[in-house]
Amino acid sequence: MRIAFDGTPLTQLLTGVGYFTAHQLRHLAKEAAGDELVVVSNREMSPETIPEGVATWRAHRFPIRMLWMQMLAPLVLRSVSPKVAHFTNSISPLVKVAPTVVTIHDMTLRLLPGSHPPRRRIVRVLVGLSARRADAIITLSESARNDIVRLLGVPSERVHIVYGAAAPGFRRITDQEHLEAIRRKYRLPERFVLSLGTIEPRKNLPRLLNAFARLKKANRFPLQLVHVGDLGWGYQALRRRIAALGLENDVMLTGYLPFSDLPALYNLCELFVFPSLYEGFGLPVIEAMACGAPVIASNSSSLPEVFGEAAEPVDPEQEESISGAILKLVCNPGLRAELSAKGLARTAMFSWTTAARQTLKVYRGILGDQGPQGPQGHQGPQGHQGPQGHQGHQGR
């Protein structure tokens, strides 16, 4: 089977969609050894994201993804002649050349339109059209699946869940010299709360700053806040808020950091906080837990499905909830140790190998080849049945 795989998210500076796509491709290349993968893109792709032996096709001097997708991608597909075309970032050509799978990571364009720049309005229209034309849709959680079915009106049986996982490099680090080298490299404080994600409205950083200011004012709070992530379109407003709250000496914005340095930051932090308003999956939560960091995360969208009982949940719209959870964990080493242990166990339920195999089942399913395991279901990580199982990732 020849598979055309959309490599447009595989840019030089990977964010959440890019990380997911890169790991999915890497493990597909391993699991689809008898198949042929061809990665197509209009952009310069990061070389380390392309597995050995995987062919690539890239257009030159055609930078606008939406135009390339509608005007040139159909021509590329006719040239490649795939059995299946997989578009990995929410939109696909409206002219269908091959059986098509589209990955829709979340529904923020409809649920939180104000969290996107105005220029993305056309993307919202294209997502709906792409979903209705696709033979199958992949998404990253039961929560996102429900949103797609409800908001786009597609049949639920066409929407398949493929959970992500932490990359192998996200783990407990015992090499203290390495950790201290990273601390010195970025001039990190001795004790800090870590947050991560592109600076944009849905990451809810203004409320996190307000919660942090509340702690500083009321409790002589000894920790600083370190935020890692691309300086997105909310950066200037965030800088002004930091100044207005008098937090210039207490908040550090690192900007985008190399992927290879992130595990050390998760290991060095006292706790990780992720108060996002909406996530299709929430890869940073899995990464933090894999590194043993105690996690505070929103009790909304897909996040409870991801962290189960292994994080301290908060209401992302209530600053008191965020500040209270931070203070609770900082003052309770036993609870931090408990959440750390639960997080490490939880991450073992998520696997990129499983994700790749489920993706291949989707491909084969739309071709009528179900293989030995029958039609594609939507089991959670390692047989975990989505949100019911828990009873109760820098542009990521």
| Spatial strand order in the sheet of 159-161 | 55-58, 36-41, 2-6, 84-87, 100-103, 136-139, 159-161
Question: What is the structure's pLDDT at 63?
Answer: 65
Question: What is the structure's pLDDT at 46?
Answer: 82
* Cα 368 to the center of its chain, rounded Å: 30
Question: What is the structure's pLDDT at 383?
Answer: 40
Question: Which of 85, 111, 108 lies closest to 97 in space, CA to CA?
Answer: 85
176-347 CATH choice from 3.40.50.2300, 3.40.50.2000, 3.40.50.150, 3.40.640.10? 3.40.50.2000
Please identify which residue in the block is written with the tokens 């192998």.
168
Question: What is the structure's pLDDT at 117?
Answer: 72
Contact 303, 285 (CB under 8 A): yes
Q: Name residues of the chain where pLDDT drops below 50.
A: 372-379, 382-393
Angle, CA 75 vertex, CA 70 and CA 79 arms, to 5°:
150
Q: In whole angstroms, what is the distance from residue 262 CA to residue 276 CA?
A: 19
The structural domains of the chain, with segments of one domain joined by +, span 2-165+351-385, 176-347
Question: What is the structure's pLDDT at 116?
Answer: 74
Question: What is the structure's pLDDT at 375?
Answer: 36
Question: What is the structure's pLDDT at 122?
Answer: 82
The model scores a pTM over 0.85:
yes
Q: In whole angstroms, what is the distance from residue 303 CA to residue 357 CA?
A: 23
The model's pLDDT over 305-341, given as tens digits with 9 standing for 90+, comes to 999 999 999 999 999 999 999 999 999 999 999 999 9
Residue 293: both structure tokens together:
């960091």
* 3-class secondary-structure state, position 269: coil
Q: In whole angstroms, what is the distance from residue 79 CA to residue 139 CA?
A: 28
Question: What is the structure's pLDDT at 372?
Answer: 42
* 3-class secondary-structure state, position 141: coil
Question: What is the structure's pLDDT at 62?
Answer: 64
Residue 126: both structure tokens together:
């294209």
Q: Is domain 2-165+351-385 in CATH 3.40.50.2000, yes or no?
A: yes
Question: What is the structure's pLDDT at 12?
Answer: 74
Please identify which residue in the block is written with the tokens 């985008």.
256
Contact 124, 109 (CB under 8 A): yes
Confirm whether 2-165+351-385 and 176-347 share one CATH topology. Answer: yes
Question: What is the structure's pLDDT at 115?
Answer: 73
